[in-house]
Amino acid sequence: MMQYSRVVAPAALILALAGCQKHAAAPKMPPQPVTVMTLKAAPVEIHTQLPGRTEAFEIAQVRPQVSGVIQKRLFVEGTDVQAGQQLYQIDPSIYQAAVDSAQGQLLHAQGSEVTARAKLTRYGPLLKAHAVSQQEYDDALAAERAAQGDILTAKGQLERATVDLGYTHMNAPITGRIGRSILTVGALVTANQTNNVAIVTRLDPIYVDVNLPATELLRFKRELAQGRLTRAGDNAASISITLEDGTTYEHSGSMEFSEVNVDEATATVVVRAVMPNPERLLLPGMYVHAQLAEGLDPTALLVPQQAVQRNSHGDPQVWVVDGDNKVNLRAITVGQAIGTDWLVTGGLKSGERVVLEGVQKIHSGDTVAPQDAAEPAKAG
């Protein structure tokens, strides 16, 4: 019996020591290090980038007002012309003859009026002396009035013939750059024909038309009404554009107006801007990216895009570190992208910390070891 107790006691001691060693082999894991950024509200200029196309500020189609054969072309294709500058010369011979004929008719009517007036002047005293009848005097008066009417008719015919003669000089209706000539010397043109002879386009300034979604227009007006956006002075209506090759156009324009009706097919509103074009770099029909300056958000919150994740429904969410250094996944709402950041419109507030790096090894409720991210250089 004594021997049995001596054997059992060492075995129990060995098992107890093994249990202690097993319990001591599971140390507590240190907090997961993560990189965080503290959100700070700051004033941010809000811009909207939309595709658009350029449109001519003024465009005029040169068409003949009278019929005839083109005798001369008085411009160089692709050059700038001034309003009123003669472009073509139509054969004026028949129109000059019409002017001469109208002048002759006017002189004849004026001569007849002189005779009728003199006769009426003589009949006045004779009527008082009863040397002529009342009927004879009335006839003389009517003849004088008819002669005056003939003068007016002749003057109208002369003016019409003079206008037609002037139309043989086909002039530029506006100042701009003229394109190619559709017809050559010797071609026959007709009055009010549907086909133009040339086109003059004013290139400086030039319009930029962009299609703004109706929802964006409502958001813009709502944020202005709520005070979230404030007009940034004269620059609030400024527009800058990026060309098709990716370069930024050096001049900025201003918003001219927006349509009052929404396009039912696209649910957009056309916004028109005026851009200076002194170098004639922009041509009508070019595709551009327009950036509209909406205004200033004085308390904007920006969160880096790398901190934002998407759930299975595509909703944005971020990891937030509380005061006890515990992380939780929070759903947020974001607006437009500004550089490499998202504009936060709900779900976060200034002073909160969001995780930028290290999200792969954390879970909701975990305690983490936050490290502040380096301050990025402030964008101009």
Q: 0.75 cut: is pTM over it?
A: no
Dist. CA 359–CA 200, nearest whole Å: 62
Per-residue pLDDT of the chain (380 residues; tens, 9 = 90+): 444 444 444 555 454 545 555 455 456 678 889 999 999 988 888 777 888 999 999 999 999 999 999 999 999 999 999 999 999 999 999 999 999 999 999 999 999 999 999 988 998 888 888 888 899 989 999 999 999 999 999 999 999 999 999 999 999 999 999 999 999 999 999 998 889 999 999 999 999 998 888 887 787 777 667 665 555 455 446 788 999 888 999 998 887 777 778 888 888 888 888 999 999 999 999 999 988 776 778 888 999 999 999 988 889 999 999 988 899 999 999 988 888 899 898 899 999 999 999 888 888 888 888 888 875 444 43
Distance of CA 121 to the CA centre of its chain: 71
Give the right CATH number for 38-56+202-372 from 3.90.1640.10, 1.10.1370.30, 2.40.30.170, 1.20.1250.20: 2.40.30.170
DSSP string for 120-167: HHHHHHHHHTTSS-HHHHHHHHHHHHHHHHHHHHHHHHHHHHHHHHHH
Tokens of 354: 């969001």
CATH architecture, domain defined by 64-91+168-195 = Beta Barrel (2.40)
Domain ranges across the chain? 38-56+202-372, 64-91+168-195, 93-166
Dist. CA 174–CA 201, nearest whole Å: 8
> Which fold, 93-166?
Helix Hairpins (1.10.287)
Which DSSP letter does residue 230 get?
Answer: B
Dist. CA 110–CA 102, nearest whole Å: 12
Which DSSP letter does residue 41 get?
Answer: -
